[in-house]
């Protein structure tokens, strides 16, 4: 499945994200530098903050831990804010669009 990342400067990156891979991991391994992923994906840094712009009804709900970590995010937290490491690709999320939060630190 393809994910479109809208980066803070406005450029679009389209990345093939295998089912089972988080959108943070896929972004980092494709060199999308606006996603940091400092903790490596354990939901303990909030440097993978994205705004999910499609498929919101298909996403599993946030865990309490994710909710809590988003409280430490550097950019404004909106109702569609998620930690990218906690959004794992599934067949339901094909053609997902996410906007990368402007500040990750």
Q: Of 11-19, 44-52, 55-63, 97-105, which part binds ligand FES (CB under 6 A)?
A: 44-52
Interface with ligand FES (CB under 6 A), residue from 46, 52, 89, 96: 46
Q: Is 47 in the site for ligand FES (CB under 6 A)?
A: yes
- Least Cα distance to 8 among 86, 101, 104 occurs for 101
Name the minimum Å distance from CB 49 to ligand FES. Answer: 8
Q: Which of 38, 68, 72, 92 binds ligand FES (CB under 6 A)?
A: 38
Instruction: Quote the radius of gyration of the chain (alpha carbons, Å).
Output: 12
Give a three-class secondary structure readout of the chain: CEEEEECCCCCEEEEECCCCCEHHHHHHHCCCCCCCCCCCCCCCCCCCEEEECCCHHHCCCCCHHHHHHHCCCCCCCCCCEEEHHHCECCHHHCCEEEEECCCCC
Span from 12-20, 57-65, 81-89, 94-102 in contact with ligand FES (CB under 6 A): 81-89
Task: Find the binder of ligand FES among 23, 26, 43, 73 (CB under 6 A).
Answer: 43
Residues found near ligand FES in the complex (CB under 6 A): 24, 37-39, 41, 43-48, 69, 83-85
């Amino acid at each position: 499945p393809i994910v479109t990342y809208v980066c803070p400067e406005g450029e679009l990156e389209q990345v093939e994200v295998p089912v089972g891979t988080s959108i943070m991991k896929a972004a980092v391994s494709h060199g999308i530098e606006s996603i940091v992923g400092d903790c490596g994906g354990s939901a303990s840094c909030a440097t993978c903050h994205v705004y999910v712009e499609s498929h919101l009804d298909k996403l599993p709900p946030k865990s309490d831990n994710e909710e809590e970590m988003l409280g430490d995010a550097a950019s404004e937290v909106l109702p569609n804010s998620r930690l990218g490491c906690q959004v794992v690709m599934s067949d339901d999320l094909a053609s997902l669009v996410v906007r990368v939060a402007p500040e990750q630190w």
